[in-house]
């Protein structure tokens, strides 16, 4: 399973990219708006920080508007992936872009039926929102598992991108479910790397080494 960061913050993305673990980035209009910056400029900086796909979401809600918005985004960098909402217009735009060989991420997926439609429209990625399903007292991981199973059975080429992951255990569950990609906020990367036994073990190793050097 590849790891993407879910962020539009250049500093955060640079930091996690520096760990050597990132295969891509997802942004969304809420994350981009939070930065208060010119979107194409910010997108260009983000695209320069990773080799992999960077999802940039359209805000038009009609097919032609989405396609028109996609053009300047695609001009920003070769690794821009067009993120489209899972609506009938989003699917229609996805089909047009897929037929042109443009990479797409169909987002806001909350059901297996929607995921089947995204694959049928030629999406590169489909993004089930695990945490938001949990938020309404349903089981986001169960949804992800079902989508992964159905995709495997059907032999769809679309990659399952587990989104809206809120904590480290979600990441483990996404990998176990067979997701192709997990996108997570910087906070979850930090939660994943830290372990008190690593800190304590390192402290002990360094103390023992310092003592040996001192007595040598």
Catalytic residues: 83
Is there binding between residue 114 and ligand E4P (CB under 6 A)?
no
**Site track 150-189 with ligand E4P (rule: CB under 6 A), x = hit:** -------------xx------------------x------
**Closest CB to ligand E4P among 31 and 49?**
31
Q: Taking a C-beta distance cutoff of 8 angstroms, is the pair 52, 2 a contact?
A: yes
In order of 5, 194, 201, 209, the CA distances from 204 in angstroms are: 33, 16, 5, 8
Minimum gap (Å) between residue 197 Cβ and ligand E4P? 29
**Interaction between residue 9 and ligand E4P (CB under 6 A):** no
Q: Which is nearer to ligand E4P, 65 or 131 (CB)?
A: 131
Can you give the C-alpha Rg of the chain in angstroms?
20
One of 132, 134, 167, 191 touching ligand E4P (CB under 6 A): 132
CA atoms of 138 and 136, how far apart (whole Å): 6
Maximum pairwise Cα distance, the chain: 75
User: Which one of 5, 8, 24, 26 is in contact with ligand E4P (CB under 6 A)?
Assistant: 26
- Choose one: 67-75, 93-101, 125-133, 174-182; the region binding ligand E4P (CB under 6 A): 125-133
Among 22, 76, 106, 129, binds ligand E4P (CB under 6 A): 129
Strand pairing of 53-57 and 159-162? unpaired
Q: In the complex, which residues of this chain contact ligand E4P (CB under 6 A)?
A: 6, 26, 28, 107, 127, 129, 131-132, 163-164, 183
């Amino acid at each position: 399973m590849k790891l993407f960061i879910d962020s539009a913050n250049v500093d955060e993305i640079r930091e996690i990219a520096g760990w050597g673990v990132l295969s891509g980035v997802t942004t969304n209009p809420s994350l981009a708006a939070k930065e208060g910056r010119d979107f194409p400029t910010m997108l260009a900086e983000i695209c320069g920080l990773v080799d992999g796909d960077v999802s940039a979401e359209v805000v038009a809600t009609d097919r032609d508007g989405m396609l028109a918005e996609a053009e300047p985004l695609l001009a920003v960098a070769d690794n821009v992936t067009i993120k489209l909402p899972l609506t009938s217009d989003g699917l229609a735009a996805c089909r047009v872009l897929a037929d042109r060989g443009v990479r797409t991420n169909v987002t806001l997926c909350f059901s297996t039926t929607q995921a089947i439609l995204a694959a049928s429209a030629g999406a590169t990625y489909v993004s089930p929102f695990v945490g938001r399903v949990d938020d309404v007292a349903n089981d986001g991981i169960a949804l992800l598992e079902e989508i992964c199973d159905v995709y495997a059975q059907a032999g769809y080429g679309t990659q399952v991108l587990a989104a809206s992951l809120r904590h480290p255990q979600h990441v483990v569950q996404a990998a176990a479910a067979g997701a192709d990609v997990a996108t997570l906020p910087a906070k979850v990367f930090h939660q994943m790397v830290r372990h008190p036994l690593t800190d304590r073990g390192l402290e002990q190793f360094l103390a023992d080494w310092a003592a040996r050097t001192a007595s040598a």
